[in-house]
Amino acid sequence: MKSSLHSDEDEELGAYQRKLREKANRSIQQLSSILDRGSESESECSNRQATPNEEHSSDGSSAHQLQESEAVSQLRLLLQKQPSETVNVSPPKRKSPKKTPAEVRSGIPAMQDVVPIVHKQSDYIRQLEGEVEFCKEELVGMKQRVQVVIVENERLHQELKSKVVEETLKDHTTNPMTPLSSLEWTMKPKPTPRTHIPAEEDKWRKELDQLKVLYQAQLQTLEAQVVSLKKDLATAQKEAEEVKGRLRHREAMAAAASAGQPQVGGLCLRCAQHEAVLAETHTNVHTQAIERITKERDELMTVLCTLRASQSEAQQREWSSYQQVKQAVEMAEEANLEKTRAAVQCEQLRSELSRQRERLEQELQAQQHRISQARDAARLQYTQHKQELAQTVSSLTESVAELEGQLERVDRERSSLTGQLEEAYRKLTNQEADNNMVCGELRYLLSQAQLKREEAERELRDSNGKNARLLELAQQEAERLGVELGACRQRLEEAQRAGSRAQAEAVGLEERLGRAEHQLHLTRSQWHGAAWLSPATERDPLAMPSRYHTGCLIIHQPLILPICPARRTEAAHRTAHTAQGARSAPLSSALLTGTKMRRLSDQSPTTPDRAAA
């Protein structure tokens, strides 16, 4: 807390010093501009006075007299306005307007009015320094008092907290059975309805509303008192500032009178003109006096500006200290208000706790009475239940004796059953061993069958490839025959020779076809034997792969037909008939082979089931 106060003081002092420097710089600039213009005007006046013409000298003297009279009147007005400004203007809100150089030059006071102020400059400075030190001391004292008030408020707050906690703990320690625990303990055996709580809650709410209304009325009255006191304080402070300003002015006048210096009240126009006429006889002395007076005037103006700046700064300090004191008083009032509020709240809590304690004690007594009644009823029930249990125990002893006899019988039966179970278990183990041996043999046979099946499948794939190649060759030959047939159509003259060649080729093809059918019959028989060996085909003949069925459609079509001799003779007759009609139809030889292959494919079996049948 102290560190924060010191930091605030340092910040205020730094800001105050910066403001003083800025004001001093502004006043120095204004004074330098005024002095420059004053020196220029004095040089012009001296040049005009140095001219030998009497007319110029008379003009300069009249101008100088007019300037002196104007300066005297302006200084008089300035001295008259100064006390009123110090009283009426509030220091923190006053802002010195920036005056133009012409206004500053016109507002320069005369030397006679400034001389006593210059002589008493040190006294004024000492007085201002004393006032500043007094304000600082008052400010430090006020901060210390505020700090003491804050510490006291914190201490009181902690004491109130500790008192409330101690009272609550005392209430709980005096009643070893707290209300909540007693209620829970009483509510465990038998829940009891609580119908009186809503009425009490309504009563509490009404009391709280009344207290709120009272507190609001008190708060409004206190706020009105605070507002009126603030207004009275503001008026009193204004009056005090006015009295201080008047007192300072009177002290300055009294000090000037005690020092024996004549009070310069200013001269009127006639007196000033008369003195100027008398001073014309001593022109050299007058010029020297003018120069000296101008210098003194400039010095006095600078001193006056510094004094005004210091006066405004002192007033600002006084205003800031007043504001701080005001804030401290407000904080103290707020602390007292919080203290009273806390006290009222504590009283409310005490009254509410007392009411709750009484209510809970009443409920506790009612619950204890109910518990005693429930205890008596439970004792009666327990005695009746005890008699019933004694009767049941006697009946149960008889049933236990009967059950013991039954248990002995059951033990004998169980021993016989265990012997039978052991024999069955022995047989089961032997059977499991036999099953394991059979399963091993079956697994070995299954592996051998799988190997054979794989070999048969490999051979079947080879035969399928060979048959596919043969079919491709037959197709190529059919295409070649078609080309030759086209050539035969173009050449009608060579039809007979082509027919004889076709007969020879047909005979050769028939022989080749017989050989191919014989070969296919052999491959079919081999595949059929391999399929019957596999266990999968034994179960389901349709379980053969799809590639075997497709091969049967193309390759295994003429497996049954070559066995029939009637079909073979019919084919021979057809070939002979085509050879005889080669002149009329040269395409008969090629169409014969196509129709033959087509009929064979229509009449041949397409599935392994038909082949097996």
In this prediction, residues 231-242 reach a mean pLDDT of 78
In this prediction, residues 184-200 reach a mean pLDDT of 46
**Per-domain residue ranges of the chain:** 2-368, 491-612
In this prediction, residues 582-586 reach a mean pLDDT of 44
Say yes or no to pLDDT of 186 above 50: no
**Which long-range contacts (C-beta less than 8 Å, at least 24 apart) are formed by 198-207?**
200/359, 204/352, 204/355
In this prediction, residues 530-556 reach a mean pLDDT of 45
In this prediction, residues 170-191 reach a mean pLDDT of 43
**Which long-range contacts (C-beta less than 8 Å, at least 24 apart) are formed by 505-513?**
505/589, 506/575, 506/578, 506/579, 506/589, 506/592, 507/575, 509/593, 510/571, 510/572, 510/575
What radius of gyration, in Å, describes the C-alpha atoms of the chain?
70
In this prediction, residues 154-169 reach a mean pLDDT of 72
Lowest model confidence (mean pLDDT) among 47-51, 97-101, 479-483: 97-101
Q: Which residue has the higher pLDDT, 525 or 581?
A: 525
Say yes or no to pLDDT of 177 above 70: no
- The pLDDT score that the predictor gives to residue 497 is 72
Say yes or no to pLDDT of 294 above 80: no
- The pLDDT score that the predictor gives to residue 395 is 85
pLDDT category at 598 given cuts 50, 70, 90 is low
Lowest model confidence (mean pLDDT) among 35-49, 232-246, 337-351, 552-566: 552-566
- The pLDDT score that the predictor gives to residue 33 is 67
**Per-residue three-class SS string for 483-542:** HHHHHHHHCCCCHHHHHHHHHHHHHHHHHHHHHHHHHHHHHHHHHHHHHHHCHHHHHCHH
Beta-carbon contacts of 555 under 8 Å, excluding residues fewer than 6 positions away, are 463, 464, 467, 468, 471, 520, 523
Lowest model confidence (mean pLDDT) among 38-42, 54-58, 230-234: 54-58
In this prediction, residues 67-73 reach a mean pLDDT of 52
- The pLDDT score that the predictor gives to residue 451 is 92
Lowest model confidence (mean pLDDT) among 79-93, 116-130, 224-238: 79-93
- The pLDDT score that the predictor gives to residue 139 is 77
The percent of residues above 90 in pLDDT, for the chain, comes to 2
By three-state DSSP, how is residue 416 classified? helix
Residue pLDDT, tens place only, 401-458: 888 888 888 888 888 898 888 998 989 999 899 989 999 899 899 999 999 999 999 8
Mean pLDDT over each residue of the chain, to the nearest integer: 68
Residue 560 corresponds to which amino acid?
Answer: I
- The pLDDT score that the predictor gives to residue 118 is 65
Q: Comparing C-alpha atoms, which of 298, 312, 286, 307 is closest to residue 94?
A: 312
Say yes or no to pLDDT of 533 above 50: yes
